A = this chain, B = another copy of it.
Amino acid sequence: KHILVVPGDGIGQEVTVVGKAVLEKIAAKFGHDFTYDEALMGHVAIEATGDPLPAESLEKMRASDAILFGAVGHAKYDNDPTAKVRPEQGLLKMRKELGLFANLRPIKLFDELLGASSIKPEILKGVDILFFRELTGDVYFGKRERIDNGNTAYDTMIYSKYEVERIARKAFDAAMTRGKKLMSVDKANVLESSRLWREVVLEVAKDYPEVELEHQFIDAAAMLLIKDPKRFDVVVTGNIFGDILTDEASQIAGSMGMLASASVGESTGVYEPIHGSGHDIAGKGVANPMASVLSAALLLDISFGLKEESEAVISAIDSVLKAGYRTRDIADATTPANMILGTDAIG
């Protein structure tokens, strides 16, 4: 099995080192033969080649069995809305080129971190959500341009029935293996693309008579997620609404630093933390690498079908937390200073 590591920018560089080290340990322990390569994407790729996703990186991606990815993004571009070449273009192109239409984001809480969230522990206890975010359509990939001499800008929020159907089926399939409950999130009271979304979901639902389907508008869903997260089981939604809801949901897990995601579709899968490049803490060695380690666990499970190995990684994280070790983002007033570790130590 051949694994491509794409560290990307900022803390992506730091956390993927740890994610990869865990894959190496697992291979040694369980007697697997994983090979590795590395590729550039994002700001680092722009600096080196002028292109946020160089052709060489894309070739390496296509040739891999799975990709362990960090993050892309750099403050430089955020403060310059006119920059033509941007790190995120590399990420979006990768998603499109590799056909990664389904982004799975599990939200599960380690018991030890029940207190780390800003939400009350009694609201959180037992929460177990699996998001399916559509990843290659919507306003991320519709036509966009400046018109009217640069005085007006637009983006196009667009979905075809085919795109909605394939992500909906994945979500319904997952619902069948879990609590048989699915929530579809849209804004069908205003948007035509959401009305098409809802139509298709209602149609696909006919093939899953056992699944209890609920529709929520994105505004109500953003509210309910905080009010009553236990009401959520499997959730399916579009690209931009999924981007927002899953970041919001990260607060349930105490920190974005604890959440991994899997992007799958037509061939190779990409595994990455849901946190971004974290410019503010990059290079300080304080980033929480657990999301990258959990990404490695998802990789072992989903791309390689290695369930036992995947569970070994998760229980390793569990032991580290049970032993009281914390990174800064999940430490609290009661954590002794000597238990607060940096990126390397956790690895």
Q: Which residues of chain A from 209 to 238 have any CB-CB distance to chain B below 8 Å in the complex?
A: 215, 218-220, 222-223, 225-228
A96 → B minimal CB distance (Å):
13
Bound together, the chains give a CA A82 to CA B34 distance in angstroms of 51
The answer, yes or no, to whether A199 is at the interface (CB within 8 Å) is yes
- In the complex, A192→B244 CA distance in Å? 18
Q: A123-B118, A139-B157, A157-B155 are in contact. Are A222 and B195 (CB under 8 A)?
A: no
Cβ of A29 within 8 Å of any chain B Cβ, yes or no, is no
Within 8 A of B (CB), among A229-256: 240-241, 243-248, 250-251, 256
Chain A interfacial residues counted at CB < 8 A = 67
Instruction: Give the residue name and chain of the B residue nearest to A218 (CB).
Output: B244
Q: Decide yes or no whether A323 CB sits under 8 A from chain B.
A: no
The reply to whether A153 and B159 form a contact with Cβ atoms under 8 Å apart is: yes
- CB pair B154–A158 under 8 Å, yes or no, is yes
CB contact under 8 A between A161 and B151, given known A196-B81, A244-B222? yes
Name the CB-closest residue of B to A215. B78
How far is the CB of A45 from the nearest CB of chain B, in Å? 16
Question: A61-95 interface mask toward B, CB cutoff 8 Å, 1 = contact, 0 = none?
Answer: 00000000000010001110110001010001000
Cβ-defined contact, A196 with B146, below 8 A: yes
Instruction: Establish whether residues B223 and A189, one from each chain, have CB atoms under 8 Å apart when the complex forms.
Output: no
Copies in the complex: 2
Confirm or deny: A193 has a beta carbon within 8 angstroms of a beta carbon on chain B: yes
From 102 to 123 in chain A, residues with beta carbon under 8 angstroms from any chain B beta carbon are 118-120, 123
Determine whether A140 belongs to the interface, using a CB cutoff of 8 Å to chain B: yes
A209 to chain B, nearest CB (A): 17
Of B119, B162, B189, the contact of A77 (CB 8 Å cutoff): B189
Does any Cβ of B come within 8 Å of A55's Cβ? Answer: no
Chain A, 180-205, contact with B by CB distance < 8 Å: what is the 0/1 string? 00000001111111111011001000
What chain B residues lie within 8 Å of A193 (beta carbons)?
Answer: 144, 153-155
The 3 A-B residue pairs with the shortest CB-CB distance, nearest first, are: A153-B196, A81-B195, A219-B247
